[in-house]
Amino acid sequence: MRLKQLSFVIALANTLIIGCSMDLATGDVVTRPRVVGVRTVIENDATRAWPRAGENVSLQWSTVSDTAVEWSSSMIACVAAASNFGIPSCEGGPFAIQPPTPLSPMSPQFDFTTPADLREGADILVLGILCGNGMATLNMDDNNLYVCEGEQSQREVVLFRLSTEADGRTNRHPSWEGQAFTLDGQPWAAPPEDLPNTGCADTPSSENIPHVQLQDEETPSVFGFTTNPADQETFEELILGETVMYVPTEEELTISHLGDAGRFRRSSTVVFDADSANNSVEWNHPDPEETTIPSDGLTVRFWWPIRDERGGFDRTERALCLIP
Protein backbone atom coordinates (compact mmCIF):
# COMPACT_ATOMS: atom_id res chain seq x y z
CA MET A 1 0.00 0.00 0.00
CA ARG A 2 2.03 2.86 1.42
CA LEU A 3 2.87 5.17 -1.48
CA LYS A 4 -0.38 4.27 -3.14
CA GLN A 5 -2.21 6.02 -0.32
CA LEU A 6 -0.63 9.29 -1.31
CA SER A 7 -1.48 8.57 -4.92
CA PHE A 8 -5.04 7.96 -3.86
CA VAL A 9 -5.26 11.28 -2.03
CA ILE A 10 -3.97 13.09 -5.06
CA ALA A 11 -6.29 11.16 -7.31
CA LEU A 12 -9.21 11.98 -5.03
CA ALA A 13 -8.31 15.64 -5.08
CA ASN A 14 -8.13 15.53 -8.82
CA THR A 15 -11.49 13.85 -9.00
CA LEU A 16 -13.03 16.50 -6.80
CA ILE A 17 -11.44 19.25 -8.82
CA ILE A 18 -12.37 17.85 -12.15
CA GLY A 19 -15.82 16.98 -10.98
CA CYS A 20 -17.94 15.17 -13.49
CA SER A 21 -16.28 16.73 -16.48
CA MET A 22 -14.20 13.69 -17.29
CA ASP A 23 -13.85 10.14 -15.99
CA LEU A 24 -10.33 8.86 -16.33
CA ALA A 25 -9.85 5.12 -16.65
CA THR A 26 -8.71 3.56 -13.39
CA GLY A 27 -7.59 0.24 -14.81
CA ASP A 28 -10.14 -2.16 -13.37
CA VAL A 29 -11.95 -2.54 -16.69
CA VAL A 30 -9.99 -4.45 -19.30
CA THR A 31 -10.64 -2.89 -22.68
CA ARG A 32 -7.44 -3.88 -24.49
CA PRO A 33 -4.67 -6.49 -24.25
CA ARG A 34 -2.65 -5.63 -21.13
CA VAL A 35 0.10 -6.95 -18.93
CA VAL A 36 -0.91 -7.26 -15.30
CA GLY A 37 2.14 -8.84 -13.72
CA VAL A 38 4.95 -11.30 -14.03
CA ARG A 39 5.76 -14.50 -12.21
CA THR A 40 9.33 -15.53 -11.66
CA VAL A 41 9.77 -19.28 -12.07
CA ILE A 42 13.09 -20.60 -10.80
CA GLU A 43 14.32 -23.91 -12.03
CA ASN A 44 13.66 -26.72 -9.53
CA ASP A 45 11.66 -24.57 -7.12
CA ALA A 46 8.61 -22.77 -8.52
CA THR A 47 7.61 -21.37 -5.12
CA ARG A 48 10.65 -19.12 -4.82
CA ALA A 49 10.31 -15.60 -6.16
CA TRP A 50 13.95 -14.54 -5.95
CA PRO A 51 16.76 -16.35 -7.74
CA ARG A 52 20.35 -16.75 -6.64
CA ALA A 53 23.42 -16.10 -8.73
CA GLY A 54 23.82 -18.58 -11.58
CA GLU A 55 20.28 -19.95 -11.53
CA ASN A 56 17.99 -20.49 -14.50
CA VAL A 57 14.99 -18.21 -14.41
CA SER A 58 11.85 -17.98 -16.48
CA LEU A 59 9.80 -14.81 -16.31
CA GLN A 60 6.20 -15.60 -17.23
CA TRP A 61 4.29 -12.46 -18.11
CA SER A 62 0.67 -12.40 -17.02
CA THR A 63 -1.59 -10.89 -19.65
CA VAL A 64 -5.31 -10.19 -19.90
CA SER A 65 -7.51 -9.16 -22.79
CA ASP A 66 -11.14 -8.69 -23.65
CA THR A 67 -10.50 -10.26 -27.06
CA ALA A 68 -8.33 -13.02 -28.49
CA VAL A 69 -4.76 -11.83 -28.86
CA GLU A 70 -1.38 -13.10 -30.03
CA TRP A 71 1.78 -11.83 -28.39
CA SER A 72 5.30 -11.12 -29.49
CA SER A 73 7.97 -9.89 -27.10
CA SER A 74 11.57 -8.84 -26.79
CA MET A 75 13.50 -8.38 -23.55
CA ILE A 76 16.84 -7.64 -22.06
CA ALA A 77 18.10 -8.33 -18.55
CA CYS A 78 20.85 -6.41 -16.79
CA VAL A 79 22.09 -5.58 -13.34
CA ALA A 80 20.10 -2.63 -11.98
CA ALA A 81 21.93 0.56 -11.10
CA ALA A 82 21.31 2.14 -7.71
CA SER A 83 18.33 4.46 -7.88
CA ASN A 84 15.50 5.66 -5.69
CA PHE A 85 13.51 7.69 -8.18
CA GLY A 86 11.77 7.11 -11.42
CA ILE A 87 12.54 4.45 -13.94
CA PRO A 88 15.52 2.30 -12.98
CA SER A 89 18.44 1.90 -15.33
CA CYS A 90 21.12 -0.68 -16.07
CA GLU A 91 24.51 -0.79 -14.47
CA GLY A 92 26.45 -1.74 -17.59
CA GLY A 93 25.18 -3.71 -20.55
CA PRO A 94 22.62 -6.52 -20.59
CA PHE A 95 23.68 -10.03 -19.66
CA ALA A 96 20.71 -11.62 -21.42
CA ILE A 97 18.84 -10.64 -24.55
CA GLN A 98 15.67 -12.12 -25.91
CA PRO A 99 15.25 -11.40 -29.64
CA PRO A 100 11.71 -10.77 -30.87
CA THR A 101 9.57 -13.84 -30.47
CA PRO A 102 7.04 -15.01 -33.08
CA LEU A 103 3.38 -14.26 -32.50
CA SER A 104 1.75 -16.74 -30.15
CA PRO A 105 -1.51 -16.97 -28.23
CA MET A 106 0.54 -17.92 -25.18
CA SER A 107 1.59 -15.19 -22.79
CA PRO A 108 5.21 -14.16 -23.36
CA GLN A 109 8.04 -15.69 -21.40
CA PHE A 110 11.69 -14.67 -20.94
CA ASP A 111 14.26 -17.27 -19.96
CA PHE A 112 17.74 -16.39 -18.76
CA THR A 113 20.44 -17.39 -16.33
CA THR A 114 21.48 -14.97 -13.63
CA PRO A 115 25.17 -14.07 -13.72
CA ALA A 116 27.31 -16.41 -11.66
CA ASP A 117 29.30 -13.45 -10.37
CA LEU A 118 26.26 -11.43 -9.42
CA ARG A 119 27.06 -8.97 -6.64
CA GLU A 120 25.38 -9.91 -3.37
CA GLY A 121 22.18 -7.98 -2.92
CA ALA A 122 22.12 -6.71 -6.51
CA ASP A 123 18.80 -6.40 -8.28
CA ILE A 124 18.22 -7.56 -11.83
CA LEU A 125 16.42 -5.24 -14.15
CA VAL A 126 14.34 -6.59 -17.00
CA LEU A 127 13.25 -4.17 -19.70
CA GLY A 128 11.30 -5.03 -22.77
CA ILE A 129 8.28 -4.79 -24.93
CA LEU A 130 5.20 -6.94 -25.36
CA CYS A 131 3.22 -6.50 -28.52
CA GLY A 132 -0.35 -7.68 -28.82
CA ASN A 133 -1.21 -8.66 -32.40
CA GLY A 134 2.02 -7.22 -33.73
CA MET A 135 5.69 -8.13 -33.92
CA ALA A 136 8.09 -6.72 -31.38
CA THR A 137 11.34 -5.33 -32.68
CA LEU A 138 14.70 -5.11 -31.02
CA ASN A 139 17.22 -2.57 -32.17
CA MET A 140 20.05 -2.44 -29.69
CA ASP A 141 22.04 -0.08 -31.88
CA ASP A 142 19.42 2.59 -31.48
CA ASN A 143 18.86 1.54 -27.91
CA ASN A 144 15.20 1.40 -28.83
CA LEU A 145 13.28 -1.60 -27.60
CA TYR A 146 9.92 0.00 -27.76
CA VAL A 147 8.51 -0.61 -31.19
CA CYS A 148 5.66 -2.87 -32.25
CA GLU A 149 5.06 -3.49 -35.90
CA GLY A 150 1.54 -3.36 -37.25
CA GLU A 151 -1.01 -0.59 -37.09
CA GLN A 152 -3.39 -2.58 -34.93
CA SER A 153 -0.78 -3.80 -32.50
CA GLN A 154 -1.05 -3.07 -28.79
CA ARG A 155 2.19 -2.03 -27.19
CA GLU A 156 3.18 -2.59 -23.57
CA VAL A 157 6.61 -1.40 -22.54
CA VAL A 158 7.51 -3.20 -19.34
CA LEU A 159 10.08 -3.27 -16.60
CA PHE A 160 10.58 -5.62 -13.73
CA ARG A 161 13.07 -5.20 -10.93
CA LEU A 162 13.91 -8.66 -9.67
CA SER A 163 15.56 -8.97 -6.29
CA THR A 164 17.97 -11.80 -5.65
CA GLU A 165 18.54 -13.92 -2.60
CA ALA A 166 21.39 -12.71 -0.44
CA ASP A 167 22.39 -12.52 3.17
CA GLY A 168 19.56 -14.85 4.13
CA ARG A 169 16.89 -12.71 2.48
CA THR A 170 14.42 -14.79 0.50
CA ASN A 171 10.94 -14.46 -0.90
CA ARG A 172 8.24 -16.89 -1.93
CA HIS A 173 5.27 -16.33 -4.16
CA PRO A 174 1.82 -15.89 -2.67
CA SER A 175 -0.64 -18.47 -3.93
CA TRP A 176 -4.34 -18.64 -4.67
CA GLU A 177 -4.23 -22.39 -4.28
CA GLY A 178 -6.80 -23.57 -1.75
CA GLN A 179 -8.38 -20.15 -1.35
CA ALA A 180 -12.14 -19.71 -1.43
CA PHE A 181 -13.99 -17.44 -3.85
CA THR A 182 -17.65 -16.61 -3.47
CA LEU A 183 -20.19 -14.78 -5.59
CA ASP A 184 -22.97 -13.27 -3.52
CA GLY A 185 -22.11 -15.78 -0.81
CA GLN A 186 -22.05 -18.86 -3.06
CA PRO A 187 -18.87 -20.81 -3.83
CA TRP A 188 -17.30 -19.69 -7.07
CA ALA A 189 -14.99 -22.04 -8.94
CA ALA A 190 -12.46 -21.27 -11.66
CA PRO A 191 -13.98 -21.34 -15.15
CA PRO A 192 -13.19 -23.80 -17.91
CA GLU A 193 -10.74 -22.59 -20.54
CA ASP A 194 -13.09 -22.84 -23.53
CA LEU A 195 -15.67 -20.31 -22.44
CA PRO A 196 -17.45 -18.50 -25.27
CA ASN A 197 -17.78 -14.72 -25.03
CA THR A 198 -21.51 -14.77 -25.75
CA GLY A 199 -24.25 -17.32 -25.61
CA CYS A 200 -23.12 -18.56 -22.25
CA ALA A 201 -26.71 -19.12 -21.19
CA ASP A 202 -27.03 -21.94 -23.68
CA THR A 203 -23.48 -23.30 -23.86
CA PRO A 204 -22.67 -26.53 -22.01
CA SER A 205 -19.17 -25.38 -21.11
CA SER A 206 -20.73 -22.45 -19.31
CA GLU A 207 -22.82 -24.54 -17.01
CA ASN A 208 -20.10 -24.48 -14.36
CA ILE A 209 -20.00 -20.72 -14.11
CA PRO A 210 -22.63 -18.80 -12.17
CA HIS A 211 -25.50 -17.29 -14.10
CA VAL A 212 -26.40 -13.86 -12.80
CA GLN A 213 -29.39 -11.74 -13.65
CA LEU A 214 -28.44 -8.24 -14.80
CA GLN A 215 -29.01 -5.68 -12.04
CA ASP A 216 -28.94 -1.94 -11.94
CA GLU A 217 -26.14 0.05 -10.38
CA GLU A 218 -27.81 0.08 -7.00
CA THR A 219 -27.59 -3.70 -6.70
CA PRO A 220 -23.99 -4.79 -7.08
CA SER A 221 -22.75 -8.34 -6.87
CA VAL A 222 -20.44 -9.09 -3.97
CA PHE A 223 -17.28 -11.09 -4.63
CA GLY A 224 -15.69 -12.70 -1.61
CA PHE A 225 -12.20 -14.16 -1.41
CA THR A 226 -9.74 -15.38 1.14
CA THR A 227 -5.99 -15.23 1.27
CA ASN A 228 -3.53 -17.48 2.98
CA PRO A 229 -2.05 -15.83 6.09
CA ALA A 230 1.06 -17.94 5.53
CA ASP A 231 1.64 -16.03 2.32
CA GLN A 232 2.33 -12.95 4.37
CA GLU A 233 5.96 -13.67 4.99
CA THR A 234 7.98 -11.81 7.54
CA PHE A 235 11.00 -10.18 6.01
CA GLU A 236 13.63 -7.69 7.03
CA GLU A 237 12.68 -4.39 5.51
CA LEU A 238 15.40 -1.88 4.81
CA ILE A 239 14.64 1.49 6.35
CA LEU A 240 16.95 4.37 5.49
CA GLY A 241 17.69 7.23 7.81
CA GLU A 242 20.42 8.42 10.08
CA THR A 243 20.46 4.83 11.31
CA VAL A 244 20.05 2.46 8.39
CA MET A 245 18.29 -0.61 9.68
CA TYR A 246 16.46 -3.76 8.76
CA VAL A 247 13.33 -4.44 10.71
CA PRO A 248 11.07 -7.48 10.61
CA THR A 249 8.00 -6.60 8.63
CA GLU A 250 5.05 -8.64 7.51
CA GLU A 251 4.26 -8.57 3.81
CA GLU A 252 1.11 -6.88 2.62
CA LEU A 253 -0.75 -8.68 -0.13
CA THR A 254 -2.30 -6.61 -2.89
CA ILE A 255 -5.07 -8.14 -4.96
CA SER A 256 -5.98 -6.34 -8.17
CA HIS A 257 -9.56 -6.46 -9.37
CA LEU A 258 -9.93 -6.71 -13.11
CA GLY A 259 -12.91 -7.50 -15.30
CA ASP A 260 -13.85 -7.06 -18.91
CA ALA A 261 -17.24 -5.52 -18.14
CA GLY A 262 -18.93 -3.64 -15.31
CA ARG A 263 -17.06 -1.69 -12.67
CA PHE A 264 -15.45 -2.70 -9.41
CA ARG A 265 -16.06 -0.47 -6.44
CA ARG A 266 -12.30 -0.29 -6.05
CA SER A 267 -9.49 -1.46 -8.25
CA SER A 268 -7.51 -3.32 -5.58
CA THR A 269 -7.64 -4.69 -2.06
CA VAL A 270 -4.74 -4.67 0.35
CA VAL A 271 -4.52 -7.41 2.95
CA PHE A 272 -2.23 -6.05 5.61
CA ASP A 273 -2.70 -8.54 8.40
CA ALA A 274 -4.01 -12.03 8.91
CA ASP A 275 -7.19 -10.72 10.54
CA SER A 276 -8.32 -9.29 7.24
CA ALA A 277 -7.75 -12.43 5.21
CA ASN A 278 -11.49 -12.61 4.43
CA ASN A 279 -12.29 -9.91 1.98
CA SER A 280 -14.97 -8.79 -0.38
CA VAL A 281 -15.42 -6.30 -3.15
CA GLU A 282 -18.53 -5.04 -4.87
CA TRP A 283 -18.96 -5.23 -8.61
CA ASN A 284 -21.47 -3.07 -10.43
CA HIS A 285 -23.08 -4.72 -13.40
CA PRO A 286 -22.47 -3.15 -16.81
CA ASP A 287 -24.79 -0.40 -17.94
CA PRO A 288 -26.95 -1.88 -20.75
CA GLU A 289 -26.80 1.47 -22.49
CA GLU A 290 -23.02 1.19 -22.76
CA THR A 291 -22.54 -2.57 -23.03
CA THR A 292 -24.60 -4.85 -25.21
CA ILE A 293 -25.91 -7.80 -23.21
CA PRO A 294 -27.06 -10.50 -25.64
CA SER A 295 -30.28 -12.22 -24.80
CA ASP A 296 -28.43 -15.55 -24.56
CA GLY A 297 -26.00 -14.12 -22.04
CA LEU A 298 -22.67 -12.32 -21.81
CA THR A 299 -19.60 -14.01 -20.41
CA VAL A 300 -17.80 -11.66 -18.03
CA ARG A 301 -14.26 -12.61 -17.06
CA PHE A 302 -12.48 -11.55 -13.91
CA TRP A 303 -8.76 -11.75 -13.22
CA TRP A 304 -7.28 -11.75 -9.75
CA PRO A 305 -3.58 -11.00 -9.67
CA ILE A 306 -2.09 -11.17 -6.18
CA ARG A 307 1.34 -9.81 -5.31
CA ASP A 308 3.43 -9.36 -2.19
CA GLU A 309 4.98 -6.06 -3.37
CA ARG A 310 8.41 -7.72 -3.32
CA GLY A 311 8.17 -9.52 -6.62
CA GLY A 312 6.04 -12.47 -5.54
CA PHE A 313 3.05 -13.03 -7.82
CA ASP A 314 0.15 -15.36 -8.57
CA ARG A 315 -3.06 -15.07 -10.49
CA THR A 316 -6.42 -16.78 -10.84
CA GLU A 317 -9.55 -16.21 -12.89
CA ARG A 318 -13.27 -16.36 -12.38
CA ALA A 319 -16.18 -15.80 -14.74
CA LEU A 320 -19.93 -15.43 -14.70
CA CYS A 321 -22.68 -15.47 -17.24
CA LEU A 322 -24.72 -12.28 -17.20
CA ILE A 323 -28.32 -12.75 -18.26
CA PRO A 324 -30.35 -9.68 -19.32
Partner 1 sequence: MARNLIFWVTTSLIWGIAVFVSAQEADSTEESSEAAVTTTPPTLQTFVDAEYDPELLEPGDQIEVILTLTIDAEGQVSNAEVFQSGGEPFDTAAVTAGQQLIFSPARRGEETIAARIRFRYTFANEPAPTENTSTAAETGENESPATPPEPTTGRIVGRVLSQDDTPLVGAQVFLDAVSSDANIELTTNEEGQFETGEIDAGRYLLTVIQTGYVSLDTEEEVSGGEELALTYRLEAQEDDASLSAGAEFGAVTTVERLAREATRRTIPRELLTNIAGTRGDALRVVELLPGVARPAFGSGALYIRGSAPGDSEVFVDGTSVPLLYHFGGLTSFYNSRLLERLDFYPGNFSVRFGRKIGGILEVEPRDPATDQPHGVVDVNLLDAYLVVETPLWEGASLAIAARRSYVDFFFAEVIPDDVFDVVAAPVYYDYQLIFTWRPTDQDRIRVLGYGSGDEFRTIFNNDDIPQPFGLEISTQFHRLQASWEHTFSEDLKQTLMISGGWTGLLIQVGETFGFDAEFVPLQMRNEWEIALHERVDLTLGLDWQYIPTTLSFRGGTPGQTEGQPDTTGQETRTAVDFEGRAYRPGVYLESNMRPTDWLQVVLGMRLDYYRDIQDWTFDPRFSIRFMPTTQWTIRGGFGVFSQPPEFRESAPGLGNPDLEPVTALHSTAGFQYRHDETWRFSIDGYYKHIYNRIVGTQGGVAPFFVNDGVGRIYGMEVAGRIDPTPGFPVSGLLSYTLSRSERQDRDDQWRLFDFDQTHIFSLSLVWQIGDGWQAGGTFRLISGNPYTPVTSAIYDARANVYQPIYGTVNSERNPLYHRLDLRIEKVFEIDIVRLAVYVDVQNVYNMRTREALTYSFDYTDTAEVQGLPIFPSLGIRGEL
Q: d(Cα 95, Cα 128) in Å, to the nearest integer?
A: 14
Q: d(Cα 152, Cα 33) in Å, to the nearest integer?
A: 11
69 binds partner 1 (CB under 8 A): no
Question: Which residue lies nearer to partner 1 by CB, 55 or 308?
Answer: 308
Per-residue mark of binding to partner 1, 23-42 (x: CB under 8 A) = -xxxx------xxxxx----
Q: Which stretch binds partner 1 (CB under 8 A): 97-105, 111-119, 263-271, 283-291?
A: 263-271
Give, in order, the Cα–Cα distances in Å from 277 to each of 134, 224, 228, 306.
Answer: 40, 10, 7, 13
Minimum CB separation of residue 194 from partner 1 in Å reads 28
Minimum CB separation of residue 208 from partner 1 in Å reads 29
> Residues 124 to 163: which contact partner 1 by CB under 8 A?
146, 156-162
- Asked if 272 and 284 count as a contact pair (C-beta separation under 8 A), the reply is no
Question: Which residue lies nearer to partner 1 by CB, 33 or 297?
Answer: 33
Q: Find the binder of partner 1 among 96, 166, 270, 277 (CB under 8 A).
A: 270
Minimum CB separation of residue 95 from partner 1 in Å reads 19
Number of residues in the chain: 324
> Residues 162 to 191: which contact partner 1 by CB under 8 A?
162
Question: Which residue lies nearer to partner 1 by CB, 22 or 116?
Answer: 22
Question: Which residue lies nearer to partner 1 by CB, 67 or 272?
Answer: 272
Q: Find the binder of partner 1 among 92, 102, 185, 241 (CB under 8 A).
A: 241
- Asked if 255 and 266 count as a contact pair (C-beta separation under 8 A), the reply is no
DSSP state of 28: S
Give residues with Cβ within 8 angstroms of 181, minimum separation 6. Answer: 187, 188, 189, 223, 224, 225, 304, 316, 318
DSSP state of 275: G
Give residues with Cβ within 8 angstroms of 154, minimum separation 6. Answer: 32, 33, 34, 69, 131, 132, 133, 134, 148
Question: Which residue lies nearer to partner 1 by CB, 5 or 215?
Answer: 5
Number of residues lying near partner 1 (CB under 8 A)? 76
